[in-house]
Structure 1
Amino acid sequence: MGLLGKLTAQVEIKSDGDLFHQVFRHTPHHVSGMNPGLVHGCDLHEGNWGTVGSIICWSYTDDGKQKIAKEIVEAIDEENKSITLRVIEGDLLKHFQSFVIGIHVDTKGETNFVTWVIEYEKLREDIEDPTAFISYLIKVTKNIETHHLRT
């Protein structure tokens, strides 16, 4: 087994795909209101919301433990509704040399799909793949969808 890995999860959502993309692009600090108990906050540390090079810090609970992830926005593709975030500090880097999260929203007719891609490099071979974290991202996605369907 290698130290490099990639996990992908795709979630069909009934809410507006453009709206989902805009939340993560321009207002990620609203995600905590849509995910009580999972996401506690998202603070802007450098730059401006929705711009490449900005640094944001997430406070969240995963697997019953409160954690943080400081990320730099590496890429934004408005046409393809995708965002790439690289973790630069936080709990994930206790187990991973690198951790990159991609979010992509694809619309096919009336159907929207949110695709999460995690690319990572483990610090050691005995570290588990981050399948629990991708499951966490699926929960966050479903909570955002539920919030948008109610409003």
Structure 2
Amino acid sequence: MKERIEALEPEKNLIVARVIGGDLMKEFKNFFLTIQAIPKQRGPGSVVKCHLKYERIDKKVADPEDILVLFVNASRDMDKMLSSEF
């Protein structure tokens, strides 16, 4: 997968990437991934939100649930690593 950063807002802990190449583009005309880390109001850490915005090439193309599963698994792994004591 090849992507390009469309927006980067450090003050909002936000990044928007646009997929511009790879297998994903065989099924989607446009595909954007937005990730934002929002600091928790109480206690340490952040809540990470992921938003997918896409346009299918054909109505028969399924929703990209695989991408969400990948993101959830990666988030869990990062959480385990960041919350472990060094």
Q: Same fold (TM over 0.5)?
A: yes
Query: Does 2:69 match 1:102?
Result: no
Letter paired with 2:31: F
Once superposed, which parts of structure 1, at least 4 consecutive aligned residues long, lie more than 6 Å away? Answer: none
**Deviations 1:82-136, CA, capped at 9 Å, x for gaps:** 0000000011111101110000011132252100000000010001011221121
Query: Does 2:80 match 1:123?
Result: no
Cα distance in 1 between the residues matched to 2:83 and 2:22 = 32
Query: Does 2:62 match 1:138?
Result: no
Cα distance in 2 between the residues matched to 1:107 and 1:97 = 33
Point out where structure 1 has 5 or more consecutive residues left out of the alignment. 1-68
> Which position in structure 2 is the counterpart of 1:83?
15
Cα distance in 2 between the residues matched to 1:133 and 1:98 = 14
Cα distance in 2 between the residues matched to 1:137 and 1:122 = 20
Cα distance in 1 between the residues matched to 2:48 and 2:37 = 5
Cα distance in 2 between the residues matched to 1:90 and 1:141 = 23
**Deviations 1:44-97, CA, capped at 9 Å, x for gaps:** xxxxxxxxxxxxxxxxxxxxxxxxx11101111111100000000011111101
How many residue pairs get aligned? The number is 83
Counterpart of 2:68 in 1: which secondary structure? helix
Cα distance in 1 between the residues matched to 2:27 and 2:71 = 18
TM-score norm. by structure 2 comes to 0.89
Point out where structure 2 has 5 or more consecutive residues left out of the alignment. none
- Percent identical: 27
TM-score norm. by structure 1 comes to 0.52
Cα distance in 2 between the residues matched to 1:71 and 1:133 = 14
Decide whether aligned partners of structure 1 residues 108 and 148 sit closer, same or farther in structure 2, where only a CA change above 3 A counts. closer
Cα distance in 1 between the residues matched to 2:11 and 2:80 = 25
**TM-align CA RMSD:** 1.1
Cα distance in 1 between the residues matched to 2:77 and 2:21 = 26
Cα distance in 2 between the residues matched to 1:71 and 1:89 = 7
